[in-house]
Amino acid sequence: MMNKKEILKLAKGFRGRAKNCIRIARERVEKALQYSYRDRRTKKRDMRSLWIQRISAGTRQHNVHYGHFMHGLKKENIQLNRKVLSEISMHEPYSFKALVDISREAFPGNRHIYHRPRKVDMSITA
């Protein structure tokens, strides 16, 4: 961000005069760079939360909670991280089922899963 040309290049896609006029673009680009600095750190948190949601969805298909699943894996000393586990749960269902089974063996708390009653469609129109 040294001269006008570089700033206007970074300001592509901005709204209104912020992409054309240097005085406004400079402010907006500074703000954008600050956000990118901050968000490079929050991206790591967001991704981990996404992976956990995906793993949880995958394990709940096999009636296991995410927390119990991870506890079982740690007990069995399986060191796959959440990124890889989420990918496996999406694309390799049989491998994932194997992992869920291993975790279920290791952590018996999974045996007593309470199944929430599923919502039934009670609409009147037949």
- The structure tokens 């296991």 sit at 64
Q: Is 21 in the site for another protein (CB under 8 A)?
A: no
Give the Cα separation of 113 and 107 in Å (integer).
12
Give the Cα separation of 71 and 84 in Å (integer).
17
Q: Is 30 in the site for another protein (CB under 8 A)?
A: yes
Taking CA atoms, 53 is separated from 58, 79, 80, 85, in Å, by: 9, 19, 16, 11
* The binder of another protein chosen from 79, 111, 121, 126 (CB under 8 A): 79
* The binder of another protein chosen from 25, 99, 107, 110 (CB under 8 A): 99
Where along the sequence are the contacts to another protein (CB under 8 A)? 1-2, 30, 33-34, 36-37, 40, 43, 46-47, 50, 76-81, 83-84, 87-88, 90-95, 97-99, 101-102
